[in-house]
Amino acid sequence: MVRYDKNDAILANIAAAFEKRLRTPCDVTLEIDQTLGEYTGVVEDGRIAAGSHSQLMEAAGRFLRNPAVRGSFPSQKPLCGMYFASHFGNYTDEAPLEELYEYIDDLGFWGVNTLKMWLDLHHFRNMGEARHKLERQKALYRHAKSMGMQIWLTTISNEAFRDSVRALRADWTCGHDGYVYPLNDHFHVEICPSKPGGLDLIKHYRRAMLEEFRDVEFDLISISPYDEGGCSCSACAPWGGNGYLRTVRELIPIYKEYFPNARFVMSAWQFGTFLENKTVEFERLADVLHNDEGFRDVAYLVSEPQYAQYAVTHDMGRPIIGFPEISMFRASPWGGYGANPMPGKIGELYDKYGDKLSGIMPYSEGLYEDINKILVLRAHRDGSPTAKTLREYLGYELRIEGELLERTARAVEAMEATLARKWDRTTHRVEILDPEKIPFIEKEITEIHALLPADVQKSRRWLHLYYRALVDGALLRAGFERSEEVREIYRRIMHLCHLENATGVYQRPDVDDVAITEVYPDSEESDIEPTPEAQNQN
């Protein structure tokens, strides 16, 4: 029997989700105990307690995975979140809400305590057009909040609706004002805050959006510089140390009108990527964070040391939240080939930079990188090595035990070497750069599949691993061409991930007949080569 204080609605929700996941009945009391502090949980005989709801969920998750566990479990990091990218008809956009609620709960038991999303204005002409997505996002935020998680609204500083005022649009080009690369993923509808009326229009669009979100109680709000966003014009350059700072300074009071209790987050994502001078944006941001009262409500800074180390080697005046890459690395369409486990890379990044970060907010496009999410989370939560977490994951989520567990873990680990691939979206050819282990993985995963109980064989987490093994085997047999066998597995992946309506080139498995020539069909395309960093991400 699971006992808890029935007057605590959040605790009741956690208890219900906990009970649903219990594999064997037990007598246990779930309890909020303020004396433990916000980020510590304990598991004792008959009692699971923590100083906050999300930490209680984390402690309860330990018990679900191992009912014999006992001890006190402080989190190394206060902020362990997940960014659910929601765009181009991807998994967050299209999966049934009930499935996503379950998934949020699953992640909570692994230690996610914050959910972040972005309502990308560029998809719409006005908030009326955004209604469907808005309501879905609000439902997801409310669910996360009902489980005791923090909720985080992320925005781009100068973003705009797709029919934004043409004369006030931002520059994204390079070859001037210190810019040596064009701005990454710029939609070309963003607004320049330096043009007369530009800042007013940015504020106007922002208010239109915030008005619709006013009944959601955000804990954190970020205002980001680039990707997609920014302006490289002479008056805004260098964006991260000039136009961006002016825009954020003006926007914070507006956000505060709607969400007076929210803490703010700024971002150094892609600072230095496009400019010849790699440090000027960091230097100017550090200066205002240290000295400018207009930025006093900024609680955190997002920066990812995998791509730029300045923020973790200099005093930026704020704790740093990492933005580790788990979704897009070296294989596109993202998730188009099933699971993409990267235990080696994630472990390496954590060993290098883990102690420099106060939290993490991985970028998620779907369930296909579920293993990566858990590996990152457990590393930052309690320093758990990725090899150990992977086995814990396979044991708990897929109920694989004993010798079979080790076999499965080895096959999944081998998938990292065969992940990198070059996709030609015109010919549909996919060249896997290091195919050596593909036959081993396919043989192992196929044999293991036959030994699993029927419900595990059909589970979404297993199918992502299974399809990856199958599609890589099929690609190898077809000389990396899109054979009918390959295409059929792509279709199965599409159905598994609810991507039938996905419009994004990088979100939709390569099932269609057409040669894909445009990444963002509604934006003007730049004919300038993207940066090496951007190419690496894609």
Contact set with Zn ion (CB under 5 A): 192, 194, 231, 233, 236
Of 13 and 157, CB closest to Zn ion: 157
- The pair of structure tokens assigned to 258 is 């709607």
Phi and psi at residue 488, to the nearest 5°: -65, -40
In whole angstroms, how close is the CB of 292 to Zn ion at the nearest point?
20
User: Shortest distance, CB of residue 206 to Zn ion, whole angstroms?
Assistant: 17
In the complex with Zn ion, the residue whose CB is nearer, 228 or 397, is: 228
Q: How far is the CB of 231 from Zn ion (least distance, A)?
A: 3
Minimum gap (Å) between residue 264 Cβ and Zn ion: 22
**Residue (231 or 286) nearer to Zn ion, CB:** 231
State the nearest-atom distance from the C-beta of 254 to Zn ion, in Å: 20
- Which lies closer to Zn ion via its Cβ, residue 56 or residue 280? 280
Of 229, 295, 240, the residue nearest 267 (C-alpha): 240
d(CA 52, CA 382): 17
**CB-nearer residue toward Zn ion: 155 or 364:** 155
Minimum CB distance to Zn ion smaller for 34 or for 234 = 234
- Least distance from Zn ion to the Cβ atom of residue 18, Å: 51
Q: Which two tokens stand for residue 115?
A: 């959910």
DSSP 121-161: GGG-SSTTTTHHHHHHHHHHHHHHHHTT-EEEEEEETT---
Query: How near is the Cβ of 207 to Zn ion at its closest, in Å?
Result: 21
Crossing angle between the packed helical segments 198-213 and 131-146, to the nearest 10 degrees:
60
**Concatenated DSSP letters of 242-287:** THHHHHHHHHHHHHHHH-TTPEEEEE-TTTTTSBSSSSHHHHHHHH
Q: Which two tokens stand for residue 532?
A: 């090496």
- Other beta carbons within 10 angstroms of residue 426's beta carbon come to 10
- Coil, helix or strand for 209? helix
Q: Closer CB to Zn ion, residue 177 or residue 325?
A: 177
- How far does Cα 94 stand from its chain's mean position? 16
Q: How far is the CB of 239 from Zn ion (least distance, A)?
A: 8
- Residues constituting the chain: 538
* Minimum distance, C-beta of residue 167 to Zn ion, in the bound complex (Å): 12
In whole angstroms, what is the distance from residue 215 CA to residue 202 CA?
Answer: 22
Neighbours of 11 (CB within 10 A): 19
Nearer to Zn ion, 209 or 233 (CB): 233
- Report in angstroms how near the CB of residue 235 gets to Zn ion at its nearest: 5
| Burial class of residue 466 (count of CB atoms within 10 Å of its CB; 0-12, 13-18, 19+) | buried
Q: Read off the DSSP letter of residue 193.
A: T
Q: Which one, 233 or 400, has the nearer CB to Zn ion?
A: 233
Instruction: Tell me the Cα Rg of the chain.
Output: 23
Per the CB < 8 A criterion, the answer to whether 418 and 469 are in contact is no
d(CA 363, CA 289): 25
Sequence-ordered list of residues with C-beta below 8 angstroms from that of 314, at least 6 positions apart, any chain: 282, 286
Residue 318 DSSP one-character state: S
Nearer to Zn ion, 231 or 430 (CB): 231
